[in-house]
């Protein structure tokens, strides 16, 4: 099972801030892999789709918010590979549909809405049983592709980038939502490298427990792993800008200036917060002179359209 992907470019960021810090700064442009199924989304979906196909499932069911990159990518991938798709959306239906959900419907996804209290039970056997009774035999992919299949895919993200660069980066930086990508990255690094995750959720320190659980369960499984133990990793929780999908003028201005200066568009929910955090840490001398940093652009630019529309409507009230 494969898609036709463009090789994600490895782009050096010639920043005065990085030069002053004595650090080499690169971005892995996963956002350029595919128009619809890009970023870390494909890596988290890949082995879930393969398992569903091998077990002869015809329908995928997954979860997400109204601007979910995962919903967007699953709808597109399902359409490409011939699956029926069902998206369980957090909250009430709001018409007209925003661009993310409208795209999902155009790809053939059936949208189902759950109130927030019921949605919080999405990982429980009770809700899974309810969904199976309602929709029949469906292959359930957790929100964000956060399972061992997702971790497996994410172990494959940076291998090509390191071969292209010709050396191993000291630090791999990634935005963090469900922690699946961070777990996969940590499993694909050798001793001496470090994975740094920037939670986009408020009070994101709780993700440390999720990461440990994913790593422990993955290494206890029979799934392939590049290494027998994860590299060192850490969470930096100071750049959430108020919580998930929260933005302010400072973040929007940073995103605009970064795009103008370096030609790299950032999504407001994930990569903008991580890039802002990295640049701020460089100013503080957080990294050592001579360090090399690889920042993962995990895609998600589709969500900017809907968020910008919402911000514009809000500003007019």
Q: For 163-180, how does the pLDDT look when each residue is reduced to its tens digit (9 = 90+)?
A: 777 778 999 999 999 999
Position 303 confidence tier, pLDDT thresholds 50, 70, 90: confident
Tell me the β-bridge partners of 294: 26, 172
CATH of domain 40-147: 3.40.50.1100
The H-or-E segment that residue 104 falls in is: helix 99-106
Distance between the two ends of the chain, CA-based, in angstroms?
A: 48
Q: Is 263 in a helix, a strand, or coil? A: coil
Global confidence as pTM: 0.94
CATH of domain 10-36+149-315: 3.40.50.1100
| Exposure string for 65-76, b = 16+ CB within 10 A, e = fewer | bbbbbbbbbbbb
Q: Average model confidence (pLDDT) for the chain?
A: 93
How many whole angstroms separate alpha carbon 38 and alpha carbon 88? 21
**Alpha helices in 108-191, H assignment, sequence order:** 116-119, 125-135, 148-154, 159-165, 180-187
φ/ψ region of 108 (left if φ > 0, alpha if ψ in -120 to 50, else beta) reads: left
Position 312 confidence tier, pLDDT thresholds 50, 70, 90: low
Task: Tell which wins on pLDDT, 317 or 256.
Answer: 256
Question: Nearest-CA neighbor of 100 among 145, 46, 36?
Answer: 36
Q: Give yes or no on whether 10-36+149-315 and 40-147 have one common fold.
A: yes
What is residue 289's DSSP assignment?
T
Q: What ranges do the domains of the chain cover?
A: 10-36+149-315, 40-147
């Amino acid at each position: 099972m494969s898609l036709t992907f463009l090789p994600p470019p490895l782009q050096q960021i010639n920043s005065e801030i990085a030069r002053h810090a004595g650090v080499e700064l690169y971005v892995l442009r996963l956002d350029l892999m595919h128009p619809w199924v890009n970023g870390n989304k494909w890596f988290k979906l890949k082995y879930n789709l393969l398992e569903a196909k091998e077990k002869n499932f015809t329908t995928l069911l997954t979860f997400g918010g109204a601007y979910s990159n995962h919903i967007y990518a699953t709808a597109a991938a399902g359409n490409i590979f011939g699956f029926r798709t069902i998206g369980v959306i957090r909250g009430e239906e709001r018409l007209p549909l925003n661009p993310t959900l409208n795209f999902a419907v155009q790809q053939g996804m059936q949208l189902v809405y759950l109130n927030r209290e019921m949605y919080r039970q999405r990982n429980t056997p009770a809700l899974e049983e309810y969904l199976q009774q309602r929709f029949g035999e469906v292959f359930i992919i957790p929100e964000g592709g956060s399972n061992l299949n997702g971790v497996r895919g994410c172990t494959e993200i940076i291998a090509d980038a390191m071969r292209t660069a010709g050396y191993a980066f000291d630090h791999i930086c990634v935005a963090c939502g469900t922690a699946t990508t961070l777990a996969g990255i940590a499993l694909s690094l050798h001793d001496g490298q470090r994975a740094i995750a920037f939670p986009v959720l408020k009070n994101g320190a709780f993700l440390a427990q999720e990461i440990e659980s994913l790593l422990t369960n993955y290494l206890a499984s029979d799934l392939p792993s590049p290494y027998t133990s994860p590299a060192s990793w850490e969470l930096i929780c100071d750049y959430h800008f108020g919580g998930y999908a929260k933005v302010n003028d400072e973040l929007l201005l940073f995103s605009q200036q970064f795009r103008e200066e370096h030609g790299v568009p950032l999504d407001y929910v994930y990569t903008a917060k991580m890039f802002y955090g990295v640049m701020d840490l460089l100013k503080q001398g957080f990294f050592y002179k001579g360090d090399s940093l690889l920042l993962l652009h995990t895609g998600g630019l589709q969500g900017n359209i809907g968020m910008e529309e919402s911000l514009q409507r809000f500003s007019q009230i």
